[in-house]
Structure 1
Amino acid sequence: MRIVVFISGRGSNLRALLEHQENYTICHVISNRHQAAGLSIAQEYRVPTTVISWHDGAKAEAQALTLLNDIKPDLIVLAGFMRVLSADFVTKFSHKIINIHPSLLPLYPGLNTHQRALNDQQIKHGATVHFVDQNLDQGHRISQCHIRIGPEDTAETLAARLLSKEHKLLTTTVDKIATGQIYWQDKHLYYNNQVITQPLVWPEI
């Protein structure tokens, strides 16, 4: 399976994906920021990179679409990509774009998820891998991982504790998509040929 990864920042999820390529290949990395540290990570692994300025969203998406039509990836992974893709763009890759989001969706779409969980006095938090559709962070949920929120937790400690679980969640989910264990067919999500109606949760994550 050939995968293109979109990033905006440090690239820690990208590195996790690059370190677990037994069943897939990261064939290109696209960023909206020249300064994104993740570009250097891609270069370490000799993965081609492209920077596309996203000041004009329509123009940027047209450039990305031209590139993707040439690469023909099987899957697109948004790994800390901090731009919202248009409905038209997403529709062209229906159920071929996934995103990792640092909350237990449908709770807390958008930004500042850790602080919002604390503000609401939640007792657990987590991350979600989901398909991307035209609604922000509302695409069909594929998998989730959980952490407990303690009385001393801050937004910073939650983010730090969740990060390693995010890496494992993303790499496990992508690997299972690559090996055909997870797939979308006839408006349903399947895992090991069984329809799944709730996000997958693996005890080891």
Structure 2
Amino acid sequence: MIRIAVVVGSTRPGRRGAGVARWVEEAAGRHAAVVSSEASVEVVDVAEYGLPLLDEPLPAKFGDYRNPHTVRWAETIRSFDGFVFVVPEYNHSFPAALKNAIDYLYAEWCDKAAGIVGYGVEGGIRAAEHLRLVLAETKVAVVRTQVALSMFTDIVVTDPVDLGVVSPGERRQQALTTMLGEVVEWSRALRPLREPAGTPYGGGDLTRPVPA
């Protein structure tokens, strides 16, 4: 079975990302791949892991994690084959909390697929573009189809502190269905490239010289 995590990328109190993630999870539950038990979907909320600003003494590529919060986060991410990142746009980019969470790990991200659901005044487009660049460095293959939810038409908000009601139109629903299918297919295709759980740096040994 292909395991897909819907990653909530905002940790701000009053964030609307949790509602967007629930919409993704509910829609995924109706997807043919999930109905047929070919794939499963689970929400992973970065806010629940209490990750401080990166505090590991060694670079993530060594895979030598020293802190309990890092080990817990690594075990969670390692268990999935692909991801759907739910991200708002903050000042032309995605939230620092998600960047920090990505930077904690390396091998656990490698050779997996991902899709992006952005939301905001401009649909989170610029946040998604920046996230694609970061994920490329961790060898995550981001599918082309993207979902962009507008705060004007897809999330009904009555005041600035209202969590809002996520109610995207048919076009957004279709884009999400297409994206989920791509994530499942790419996750399956990349499976032979994934290294065994716990193998640092894609199976390499950083203590040995690299052959010329």
TM range, smaller chain: 0.3 to 0.5
Between structures 1 and 2, the one with greater helix share:
2
Between the two structures, name the one with larger relative contact order (CA 8 Å, sep ≥ 6): 2
Structure number with bigger Rg: 2
Q: Normalising by the residue count of structure 1, what TM-score does the alignment of the two structures yield?
A: 0.47
